[in-house]
Amino acid sequence: MGELRLSSFCASTSWQKGKLMTTAELIKIAKVIYAEGGIFSGKNYNALLAIAQCIHDLLPSYKDLDTCLASAFTSPSDQYDPQCLQAAQAVFEQGQRRFPDAQILQFRSYTRYSDGNGNPDQGKLADLYKNYDYLGSDSINTRWGHFYFGKREEKKMFRMLVMAGHGRNQDGSWDPGAVGCGYQEADLARELRDLIKTAADQAGVPCDVAPDRNHYSYFKAGGQYDVSAYNYVLEIHFNASATADQSGDGIKKGSMVYIDQSETGHSVEDAILSNLYSLGSRQAWDGIVVAQRQWPSGLMVQSRIRAQGVSHAVLETCFITDWDDVSWYLANKTKIASAIVAGIQQGFGLNYAVVTKPYMVKVEPESIPDKALNIREWPSTNAPITGQIRETMSLTIIEEASGKGAKRWGKLKSLAGWISLDYTKRH
């Protein structure tokens, strides 16, 4: 297995913002992936994805693909397999990444750089530890695997905002939205909005609820709403059709999402819809619809939020004028809310993993530098300190997450914040 040679890092924009790879170029990449990691095919797809990401992340440092492959990677094989090509397509066409929060700039094999037990030999890898962040590893056993190094991207903590469509106008009147099957869109949208908030809280995804008003009426009247603190705004609606089905014909009309033409992709919305389809909904229209296709100027609320540089999507949960759709929503609304949150986690690559079984850890400050363990607002040493632990004690951990400054972070049951699990002992 070849070794990746050192290369200077160029913090360029993603290759996806340039030209798309041709089929021939993707095959070239697949042959290099096979040469570097063919042993992982059929055994550890993540390792193939990591090699593809490394090629992607190093590519801006070179004038073209051929130079990158020849300069930084082992000579390509004369063959490749479907999994290697799949990994190349996933990274260069679909934007998938082995490490969503980092650039992979180096990898090394277990055969030369492991301690023999599948752990990195820090002595042999001293130069890489000095110049890069250690990202993790993939393997098939303690003998065969890769260690990854690169640069973690510092991002603001993810936070989403959920809002409900229609509702109270600026003049005090009520906009019910679409009406059908004995329900008002404004009422169901607020119900689902609150369920999404609950699901987000349970999943550890920071989520706020927008003020309860008709945002269209608010903006039209000249209102201003600063959403710059958020990464994503989801606006909940229920669709309607000119032909109502009040009794049910056994056929759902389905779910869809509106996005603005300024969005560069829709992987988050794809994930949301995929999860809803798995619960029994179906694709309405094209699934993902650019708002300007239906309204030349787009949607007012969406346009105001996009003008602040924040991603926004209008989810048409299902058709309120179709009894099959309404029945599906009423029977599955809690699951629907969780599926939406899970789609957002998947689409943004969020690493919030809820620990289903809380566990105890012991903290002994005497063994910690400065004799204190900091409690952070979120899982990163960049987060504000909310408190300190200075006495030996046992604590309950309810969630885990990755973040800067620790191999693993744990969320306290007290909700005081997050602590580095590197300085704890599990009971």
Per-residue pLDDT reduced to its tens digit, 174-213: 999 999 999 999 999 999 999 999 988 877 788 999 999 9
Which helix (H) or strand (E) segment holds residue 375: the answer is strand 373-376
Determine the Cα–Cα distance for residues 280 and 230; give it in Å rounded to an integer.
30
As a whole number, mean pLDDT of residues 344-349 equals 85
pLDDT digits (tens, 9 = 90+) for 250-274: 999 999 999 999 998 899 999 999 9
Q: Report yes or no on whether pTM surpasses 0.75.
A: no
The strand pair at 385-389 and 393-403 is best described as unpaired
Quick one: pLDDT at residue 106?
Answer: 96
3-state per-residue secondary structure call for 98-129 = CCCCEEEEEEEEHHHHECCCCCECCCCCHHHH
The angle subtended at Cα 360 by Cα 407 and Cα 335, nearest 5°, is: 80
6 pLDDT above the threshold of 80: no
Mean pLDDT of the chain, nearest integer: 89
pLDDT digits (tens, 9 = 90+) for 225-251: 999 889 999 999 999 999 999 999 999
Beta strands, E only, 210-351: 232-239, 255-259, 283-290, 311-319
As a whole number, mean pLDDT of residues 51-76 equals 94
Other C-beta atoms lying within 10 Å of the C-beta of residue 262:
15
* Maximum average pLDDT range among 115-124, 280-289, 392-401: 280-289
- Residue 346, CB half-sphere, CA atoms under 13 Å: how many? 16
- What is the gyration radius of the CA atoms in the chain, in angstroms? 25
Q: Are 123 and 87 in contact (CB under 8 A)?
A: no
The strand pair at 255-259 and 283-290 is best described as parallel
As a whole number, mean pLDDT of residues 323-352 equals 90
Per-residue confidence at 403, pLDDT binned at 50, 70, 90?
low
Quick one: pLDDT at residue 15?
Answer: 42
Burial class of residue 194 (count of CB atoms within 10 Å of its CB; 0-12, 13-18, 19+): middle
pLDDT digits (tens, 9 = 90+) for 15-39: 443 357 899 999 999 999 999 999 9
CATH code linked to domain 352-426? 2.30.30.170
Of 19, 69, 41, 100, which Cα lies nearest the Cα of 349?
A: 100
Alpha helices by DSSP H, 204-310: 215-220, 267-278, 300-306
7 pLDDT above the threshold of 50: no
Quick one: pLDDT at residue 150?
Answer: 95
314 pLDDT above the threshold of 50: yes
Quick one: pLDDT at residue 94?
Answer: 82
Going by C-beta distance under 8 Å and a sequence separation of 6 or more, which residues neighbour residue 118?
Answer: 110, 137, 139, 141, 142, 145
From residue 357, give the alpha-carbon distance in Å to each of 190, 342, 401, 419.
31, 19, 15, 18
- DSSP H helix total and E strand total for the chain: 11, 20
162 pLDDT above the threshold of 70: yes
pLDDT digits (tens, 9 = 90+) for 290-306: 999 999 999 999 999 99
β-strand partners of 145: 139
Of 131, 135, 133, 111, which Cα lies nearest the Cα of 121?
A: 111
* 3-class SS of residue 327: helix
Quick one: pLDDT at residue 224?
Answer: 92
Domain spans in the chain, listed from the N-terminal domain onward: 15-152, 160-348, 352-426
As a whole number, mean pLDDT of residues 311-320 equals 98
* Maximum average pLDDT range among 6-10, 128-132, 374-378: 128-132
* Maximum average pLDDT range among 9-13, 236-240, 339-343, 358-362: 236-240
4 pLDDT above the threshold of 70: no
173 pLDDT above the threshold of 70: yes
Other C-beta atoms lying within 10 Å of the C-beta of residue 269:
25
The CATH number of 160-348, from 3.40.630.40, 3.30.70.580, 1.20.5.510, 1.10.287.180, is 3.40.630.40
